Structure 1
Amino acid sequence: MAPSVANGNGSTKAPEKSSRNDAPHLDTVQIENLLIRDENIYETSLNSDDYLESLAPIIQDAISANGLSDLISRLNGIVKVKDEELNELSLNSTDEINSCIDAIDDIHGASTELNKNLISVSQTLNKSAFELMSRKKSLIKNKEVSIQINETCVVLGECIQVLEITNKIHELIKQKKYFSALKLINELTAIHLHKVEGFSFAKKIYDSIPHLTKMIKDESFENLCNWLTINSERKLNAISDGIYDNLYDLQDNWNNSRKNNSTFTPYKLNSPVELSLRSPQAYYNIFEDSTLAIRLETIFDAILVYETLHEGETLSTLYHKEWMKKYNRVIYPITSATAESIAHFNSLQSLDEYLRKISAFFVMDKQINLVTKFELRSNPNSDDLWESYVTKLIPVLLNFLKTHKFKTMDELQTFKEITGNFLQIMENYNYRITELYEVLMILFKDYFAPILIQEFRSEFIESIQSDHYMPLTVDQKSDYENIMKICWYRDDAPFAPKNVKKMPITFPFSEDYVHYCLGVRSLLDDILNFISQHYSYELNELNNLIVNDIFERVLGDEKGVGISRDIQDFIAKNENNKEVTSQSYTNLEYYLYSLYEIGKLINRRLRTHTGIGIHNIDANDTFTLRAVDHFNKLKKYSESTIFKMVDSKIRELLDMVEYDEWLPTIRNSEANYSIKDFALFLDNLFTSIFSNLPQSIRTLGLFRSYDFVAEHFLNVLNSATIYNKIAIENFDLDIKYVEESMKNLYSVHQSTETEMTGGHVALETTFTELRQCIDLLLLDNYDDFIKNSTFRMRSFDRIRFEDGMKLIEKMKEYQDGEEEPIEADDSNQSLDQQSILSTAAASKFAQFTTKFRKKNDFEKEGTPNRL
């Protein structure tokens, strides 16, 4: 604040504010505050250094605030105010005025000096202001030039960037990085080109954009085509190796699982059960196989290029056409499957190589679809192409089967492995194999089954032809145990383990039956092994084929196929061989029993290996082969052959016993030697034929033979034109010997149980008619027979009256009268004595005896057939 001035009466009066204070100025208050910030500033001497030092900051602040003129004006106002105040003080107080004059003068001098200083400062400031303005104009001009330079640099930079981007685009195209080049084109057109659109080169670049885009699109697709050529054609063999190696691993893993868990046995590879248990890591991916080194950048690049250009459908169309070109080249030589032109493969190896290549091609098709997320082709496209290809492949495979003419089971197995593995691969990648699977069914039905049947039949025929047809004898326990494991037999059989106490053991059947049982088991094993790997569908039909087209046929009576017919032909060929016929019948007993067990075995094992058994089973869950009927017929045929042979042998023997002398004069004391030989030969015949036959057939055979012999001798008696008592007595002696020997033969070949049931009584009835005829002729008087019907019915009920009269009428004594018979002299009996047998008959018996004895000796010297 301004200092107070004392008035005359001692009071103080505040100085009036200058009218300049009322004048409006921008920084008046500021300046005033700066000038009077120190209350005591004017109390000091104006000429003192302190005042100037205090004033200097105020001037500096005013210069800084660009208010120097105002400061000077203000100072002048202050001076004026102070002068007025001084004048007033002078008027009011002379003393004070006078005393202050000096001070005022000093102040005035200081003020003047200050004014000078301020003027100097003002001049200096004005000069600085002019220099500043000049420099500012120069700065502004320089800034304008700099801005133009910067703008020019920016434009040049944009031009250079456009050129660099253009060069980079061409470089990326050369490097086959088409999508990156396309992205740079989009960036160039969207961001950079419009910044330099005034330049002629930019217009040329802009005009070349469509060409560059088309070039990128075309070259990206061409690069994709080259990629396909390299990977879908040249690498197919390597791809197929990886696919098949993966298949073999899957097969091994699943086979191990089936071995460890029998529940999985019916299920094949690719079945729902196997797929549910398969590890995700087990699936093979072509593009993850480092050995193939198939990179996907090319195909992805092409997809991105076309998608960016909004031409995805165009790329899909072009890719499909290109893929079809590859397809037509890969499937060669199968380009068509017409009847006129069917592709032919020279060997199984060439077929295998072809199918491996095809599998790689179609697997790659679907894996490309998957990895590209179906941008190029869809799975329906792949499936349609596969269906089209299958229609061409099926005739080729069938033609290969037809023309290759498989001679061995190994070749057939190889074809099955080739085709089956191919099907499993295609099925594994979700291709439909229903139609192609029919090739495996045809292979099984039309090729495997006939070859297997013929191999079994060939081995069987060789077995029956090489068999010695003697009961099989084993003396080693291991051999016995093996036979028990192989052969089918009843639990109560005498050779069953529970009934065997010591070695050796003789079986009723011959070695032929053992070979047959082993062959049947091997046959079933071969079938199950054949279908164990690749046969997953149409299991009912497959079971029917196994039963009806293999077992029923090979066991049936079809000529050239069934062993039933072969056995019949063999028996017919050897119908006169008693060893063959009798042992064949015994074997047939076991063959027939085995068929029931084979039916059960087939049903059981099919159920285990395919999951379903044979449907046409009876209520007891047992399956019976139709071959049972064939073997029953064969058994009857064998039985009739035995009887036919026995009848033939007996007829041979009986034909040698000729009665041509019915009027002898010598009475024999015993049966004739030829009758004894006949009885001996008959005993040997029955022993060799019936010894191993079942009880029923032995009994039937004996009764038939007895009846045949009795009928023969009855016919001999009836055919005689005349005879005497001596002849009838000798004939009676022979017949009694035959009857006794046959009774003994019956006792040897029959069981005690049969004898207790009246077997002897039944046997006697076969000779009843003959016995009654002889007894009738030996009567001393025939009147009772002729006249006494009661006597006739009681003693000769089997002889009709007319037949009896014919016999009586032939008796010489009845015709001529009674004559005394001549007793036979035993001491003079010799071969030269008269006999009812003719000389020719004796000669025939001699020849037959020699032949029979030689055969008998051979049998005695022979050893039992051993395993």
Structure 2
Amino acid sequence: MEQEPWLTEEFQKILLSSATDNTSLQKDIGKSRNDSHLTDNRALDDTFDLNSQPIDKWVPFLRKSIEKDQLVQVIGELETSIDDNFQGLELQVIQDSQINDKLEKSINEVSNIQTSIEQNLSLEVQRFQKLLTQSTNELILQKQVFVNNKKTSLKISEAIILISKIVRILELSSKCQELITEKKFFKALQNLDNLEKLYLQEFKINYNFKFLKEIYDSIPFMKNVIKDECVNLIKSSFNSNLGKNLTEAGTKIFEHYRDEIVISWLEKRDSLHLNNFKFNSPVEISMRDQATTEEMNINNYFNLNELYDAIMIFKSLNELDDLLVDFNSEYEFRRTKIVHPITWKKNFGNVSSTPGDISLDAFAKNLTLEFLQEYLLKILGFLLYDLNLNKSTEFILVNNNYNATNEFWDNLMRRLQPYLQLYLQRAVEKEDEDNLINFKDFLGIYISILENYELDIGPLYNILIHDFSNYCELSISSMDKEFQILLNDDDFMPLLINDRNLCNKVIKICWMKEADLKLIESVNANQNDEEQFVVTLPFSPLYPMTCTLVKKVYSKLASFISTFYRHDLHSLNNILVKTIDSIFTDVVNNKIRSKLDSTSREEISQILINLDYFIIATKEFSNYMTLENIMQSPDIEISLNSIKRFKESRAYAETKLIELIDSKIYDILETVDLDWSSHEIRQDPDISIVDVAQFLEMMFASTLVNLPYSVQTLLIFREFDSLTRNLIDLLLHGTPDSISPESVLNFETDVRYLQDIIPKIFPSLKDEVAPLSLPEAQNIRPATPTTPNLNSSDPASIENNIKSLEETFIELNQCIELLKSKNSREFAEPEVRLRKYSRIKPENAALLLSKIRRSPSPGSESDSPNGGNNADSRSNFDGESNGNESKTDRFARLFRR
């Protein structure tokens, strides 16, 4: 591919046209020569001037070449083009005579022009050299002046710098004094350090300015002023922070807990059924409103800037130990004032803590709830201040003792604890329950605040437990008084209820037997709405009223510990259980037991019934406390000791009732006067025996009818056993040495009459169960009376009880049969003795046989009551002779109790 020429044809034409235009040069020269008005120089300049029009035409092409960076190539082509386009032009010029003439003339003119130019140039050069010399001299002078001025300027600059530094020192000194006046000591110390560095670097060696030295020498004094003022500011800070501000801060934080956090929690607890969780537990803390928590920031109550500055200042001065000495001295003095009127000592180990030693000092004299609250809130403010101070200063002021606040609090509590116990003791003495409740509420919130700030709550929580213990003590005392009133007002009669609503309340209030509930259901089912509701419950009004009081007391105690008692639940549970146990035992049981000294069988019978129900109540209350135990542990089983005490009282009541019945029977038997020498046979029992029977029948049918079936059965067996024992003793020891056979038959009639009342005591079977005949009774040979089924009153059980009761007459009937026997040697025969006289002891048999007078049969001396065979018979049976025993002694043994 052929290379494109750098010089375009159009540009070449322009160049050629420009060259052609220059042929008018000669004409211009001649014209300029003939023009007399032009000077030679102007003619020469005009001759060699180029025409601007062709040059203007070159410009676009040259610019284009320059932009394309082709100028060198264009110049090369231009030279080649000249050679090509002007080839032979030289010969043409030489051959043209006219041109030659013009060239000759031109040469001369050129020569003249050259000469003229040289002359002018020479003159100009001379003139220029003269001016150059003059300028050079002036320049040298100016340079000398400049150098001198420059030296002066440097000195002036140095002076300005020095003066600036001096002014800086003066400014720093003045600023230090100003900052000290404004109590900005750390900034003042920084300015002093800058002043000292500036003086040492710039003036101490190179200059000797007296006033600057005086300023430098004043630096230690100003530092001492700063240290002294820092200590004064710390004291001033203590005045503002450790004065009334402590009580204010403690009160505000306490009120924030009491009026906002506690109330909010109680509302949430009731609405969300979170009764198992206590205040300040993790659950409660997680549910707090964070906005309210931020309001309790301690920094909002105390300003510690002065202490921060002091620490930085003394650190900068490497005198922090001096600050600690001054700080601890002042802080100890402030603590002493804060804990006043308690005497402050770091170690309370040797201080007596018994309330008797402090009961008359200044603190004890002002020991009211208001005084304690104000004092403890002031202490709370100080504890929070101390915590904030130590944490904010990174425990520098306490030598990195991270437990400093707790140590102060523990030392204070060792001294304060006896006063708090004294306060509780006085509240108990005044029987002021409200004071104990208010103190508990205050102390509960106070402990929660301490716990949140990780302070030791052990000693104060022990006071809170002690408060609960005292509240329990007052509750027992209050229960004791109220129960005494109930006991005095009780009529010891079964509870008669003629109001259905009241009956329902009684069912809810107290615990009853299933039989009682069935009775109430039966009454409700069999009565119409128009009929009057009437039901009689076995217990007296004392029982439901006591259940009401006990439940009320338990509710009060549970409410007392429901909010703030979160720790040591085992101790609280023990106190609660002991309190309820004490109420049942020391109040209810002991006071009821004191009533057992009564001589009224009806009253003791009702007490026995009530005790039976109180045993049920204590068992049920034990189960209730087990389910509702404050430890929330399913493994805990609570059993009140009062159950055992009530059982003992019930047994004692049974014994007292038995003694009263025995005493009555004894009084009746004392009137018995049987004729043992009678020869007439009676068909009817003796009147005294009738009295005994009627008494027993009436007593079991009316007086003891409301007793539990098991108790009734026990008493029946006990009394009939006692009756038969007495009758046997009467037969053995209360009869003359000789009795008639007719009197034995009469005695048998009396005994059978007593035995016949047994079915009447069980009215449900009196028409169905016939008494056992004597032979049948004799064939039943249990070692002891059969124990009845204490929890059953069904017909089969009643029939068994009747049979068992009739067995108590077996020995007595056997004794009568022995007396009736015509053959006195039957007892000596083993087979007959085991069959007919199994219950009679040999010595008793000998004694009975010695008493019977038999009609002598012909030729038989052995049948004579005074014969030797009777004596032999007694000796054969190993019996003891009671012939020498008086009648009084025999009656004493008969009715011994």
> 1:515 — aligned with what?
545
Residues 51, 232 of structure 1: CA spacing in aligned structure 2 closer, same or farther, 3 A cutoff?
Answer: farther
Report how far residue 402 of structure 1 moved: 4.7
Is structure 2 residue 710 aligned with structure 1 residue 696? yes
What does 1:447-458 align with in structure 2 at a 5 Å threshold?
447-458=470-481
Deviation digits for residues 814-849 of structure 1 (CA, Å, limit 9, x no counterpart)? x9xxxxxxxxxxxxxxxxxxxxxxxxxxxxxxxxxx
- Aligned 8 A contact 1:483 1:514 in 2: yes
2:41 aligned to which of 34, 48, 70? 48
Q: Which amino acid aligns with 1:166?
A: S
Root-mean-square deviation over aligned CA pairs: 4.8
Q: Which amino acid aligns with 1:165?
A: L
Is structure 2 residue 196 aligned with structure 1 residue 174? no
> 1:332 — aligned with what?
340
1:537 aligned to which of 567, 579, 583? 567
1:645 aligned to which of 652, 660, 667? 660
Deviation digits for residues 754-813 of structure 1 (CA, Å, limit 9, x no counterpart)? 675254455555567777889999xxxx89466988999899997946436636589xxx
Report how far residue 296 of structure 1 moved: 3.6
Supply the distance in 1 between the matched residues of 2:235 and 2:376 (Cα, whole angstroms): 24
- Aligned 8 A contact 2:420 2:463 in 1: yes
Residues 754, 703 of structure 1: CA spacing in aligned structure 2 closer, same or farther, 3 A cutoff?
Answer: farther
- Aligned 8 A contact 1:662 1:727 in 2: yes
Supply the distance in 2 between the matched residues of 1:226 and 1:528 (Cα, whole angstroms): 49
> 1:757 — aligned with what?
799
Q: Secondary structure at the match of 2:566?
A: coil
Supply the distance in 2 between the matched residues of 1:536 and 1:604 (Cα, whole angstroms): 18
Deviation digits for residues 671-722 of structure 1 (CA, Å, limit 9, x no counterpart)? 7888777765554433332110112222332344445556667777885769
Is structure 2 residue 592 aligned with structure 1 residue 567? yes
1:376 aligned to which of 393, 397, 407? 397
What does 1:310-349 align with in structure 2 at a 5 Å threshold?
310-335=318-343, 337=348, 338-339=351-352, 342=358, 344=364, 345-349=366-370
Supply the distance in 1 between the matched residues of 2:623 and 2:811 (Cα, whole angstroms): 51
Supply the distance in 1 between the matched residues of 2:721 and 2:706 (Cα, whole angstroms): 22
> 2:196 — aligned with what?
189
> 2:312 — aligned with what?
304
Residues 276, 494 of structure 1: CA spacing in aligned structure 2 closer, same or farther, 3 A cutoff?
Answer: closer
- Aligned 8 A contact 2:304 2:389 in 1: no
What does 1:548-587 align with in structure 2 at a 5 Å threshold?
549-556=578-585, 561=586, 563-572=588-597, 574=598, 576-587=599-610
> 1:159 — aligned with what?
166
Is structure 2 residue 226 aligned with structure 1 residue 216? yes
1:747 aligned to which of 759, 763, 778? 763
- Aligned 8 A contact 2:511 2:616 in 1: yes
Kindly tell me the number of residue pairs found equivalent between the two proteins: 709
Residues 614, 490 of structure 1: CA spacing in aligned structure 2 closer, same or farther, 3 A cutoff?
Answer: farther
* Structure 1 alignment gaps of length 5 or more: 1-39, 56-92, 616-621, 816-867
- Aligned 8 A contact 2:765 2:795 in 1: no
Supply the distance in 1 between the matched residues of 2:847 and 2:308 (Cα, whole angstroms): 117
Residues 563, 743 of structure 1: CA spacing in aligned structure 2 closer, same or farther, 3 A cutoff?
Answer: same
Supply the distance in 1 between the matched residues of 2:412 and 2:43 (Cα, whole angstroms): 118
Report how far residue 634 of structure 1 moved: 1.4
> 1:803 — aligned with what?
848
What does 1:355-374 align with in structure 2 at a 5 Å threshold?
355-374=376-395
Q: Which moved more, 1:398-407 or 1:450-459?
A: 398-407
Residues 766, 389 of structure 1: CA spacing in aligned structure 2 closer, same or farther, 3 A cutoff?
Answer: closer
What does 1:607-646 align with in structure 2 at a 5 Å threshold?
609-612=630-633, 622-646=637-661
Q: Which amino acid aligns with 1:550?
A: T
Supply the distance in 1 between the matched residues of 2:700 and 2:765 (Cα, whole angstroms): 9
Report how far residue 637 of structure 1 moved: 0.6
Supply the distance in 2 between the matched residues of 1:295 and 1:165 (Cα, whole angstroms): 29
Supply the distance in 1 between the matched residues of 2:152 and 2:309 (Cα, whole angstroms): 48
- Aligned 8 A contact 1:489 1:590 in 2: yes
- Aligned 8 A contact 1:240 1:357 in 2: yes
Is structure 2 residue 449 aligned with structure 1 residue 425? yes
Normalized against structure 2, the TM-score is what? 0.67
Supply the distance in 1 between the matched residues of 2:105 and 2:463 (Cα, whole angstroms): 149
Report how far residue 578 of structure 1 moved: 2.4
Deviation digits for residues 32-61 of structure 1 (CA, Å, limit 9, x no counterpart)? xxxxxxxx9xx9997334779999xxxxxx
Residues 762, 155 of structure 1: CA spacing in aligned structure 2 closer, same or farther, 3 A cutoff?
Answer: closer
* Structure 2 alignment gaps of length 5 or more: 1-28, 49-99, 526-532, 767-792, 856-863, 865-897
- Aligned 8 A contact 1:306 1:312 in 2: yes
- Aligned 8 A contact 2:476 2:583 in 1: yes
Residues 52, 734 of structure 1: CA spacing in aligned structure 2 closer, same or farther, 3 A cutoff?
Answer: same
Q: Secondary structure at the match of 1:176?
A: coil
Supply the distance in 1 between the matched residues of 2:111 and 2:381 (Cα, whole angstroms): 122
> 2:784 — aligned with what?
none
> 1:546 — aligned with what?
576
Report how far residue 639 of structure 1 moved: 0.7
Report how far residue 514 of structure 1 moved: 1.6
Is structure 2 residue 413 aligned with structure 1 residue 390? yes
Supply the distance in 2 between the matched residues of 1:759 and 1:138 (Cα, whole angstroms): 153
Report how far residue 530 of structure 1 moved: 3.1
Supply the distance in 2 between the matched residues of 1:703 and 1:106 (Cα, whole angstroms): 182
Supply the distance in 1 between the matched residues of 2:517 and 2:244 (Cα, whole angstroms): 71
Supply the distance in 1 between the matched residues of 2:621 and 2:797 (Cα, whole angstroms): 36
Supply the distance in 2 between the matched residues of 1:245 and 1:54 (Cα, whole angstroms): 116
Supply the distance in 1 between the matched residues of 2:595 and 2:421 (Cα, whole angstroms): 37
Is structure 2 residue 593 aligned with structure 1 residue 602? no
Deviation digits for residues 312-342 of structure 1 (CA, Å, limit 9, x no counterpart)? 4544454344332222221223325512864
Supply the distance in 2 between the matched residues of 1:461 and 1:349 (Cα, whole angstroms): 35
Residues 663, 177 of structure 1: CA spacing in aligned structure 2 closer, same or farther, 3 A cutoff?
Answer: same
Supply the distance in 1 between the matched residues of 2:814 and 2:311 (Cα, whole angstroms): 115
> 2:375 — aligned with what?
354
Supply the distance in 1 between the matched residues of 2:403 and 2:299 (Cα, whole angstroms): 26
What does 1:400-549 align with in structure 2 at a 5 Å threshold?
400-402=423-425, 405-406=428-429, 407-445=431-469, 447-491=470-514, 493-495=516-518, 501-502=524-525, 503-547=533-577, 549=578
Supply the distance in 2 between the matched residues of 1:809 and 1:230 (Cα, whole angstroms): 120
Q: Which amino acid aligns with 1:339?
A: S
> 2:303 — aligned with what?
295
Q: Which moved more, 1:753-762 or 1:726-735?
A: 726-735
Deviation digits for residues 598-641 of structure 1 (CA, Å, limit 9, x no counterpart)? 222222222xx3233675xxxxxx54333332222211111111
Q: Which amino acid aligns with 1:571?
A: L
What does 1:230-249 align with in structure 2 at a 5 Å threshold?
230-248=240-258, 249=260
Q: Secondary structure at the match of 1:235?
A: helix
Q: Which amino acid aligns with 1:685?
A: M
Report how far residue 499 of structure 1 moved: 5.5
Q: Which moved more, 1:587-596 or 1:173-182?
A: 587-596
Q: Which amino acid aligns with 1:431?
A: L
Residues 726, 133 of structure 1: CA spacing in aligned structure 2 closer, same or farther, 3 A cutoff?
Answer: same
Deviation digits for residues 410-463 of structure 1 (CA, Å, limit 9, x no counterpart)? 333334344443333222211223344443444445x34433333333333333
Report how far residue 237 of structure 1 moved: 0.7
Supply the distance in 2 between the matched residues of 1:769 and 1:610 (Cα, whole angstroms): 60
Report how far residue 126 of structure 1 moved: 5.4
Between the aligned residues of both structures, percent identity stands at 25
Supply the distance in 2 between the matched residues of 1:178 and 1:225 (Cα, whole angstroms): 15
Report how far residue 545 of structure 1 moved: 3.8
- Aligned 8 A contact 2:724 2:808 in 1: yes
- Aligned 8 A contact 1:239 1:286 in 2: no
Residues 741, 132 of structure 1: CA spacing in aligned structure 2 closer, same or farther, 3 A cutoff?
Answer: same
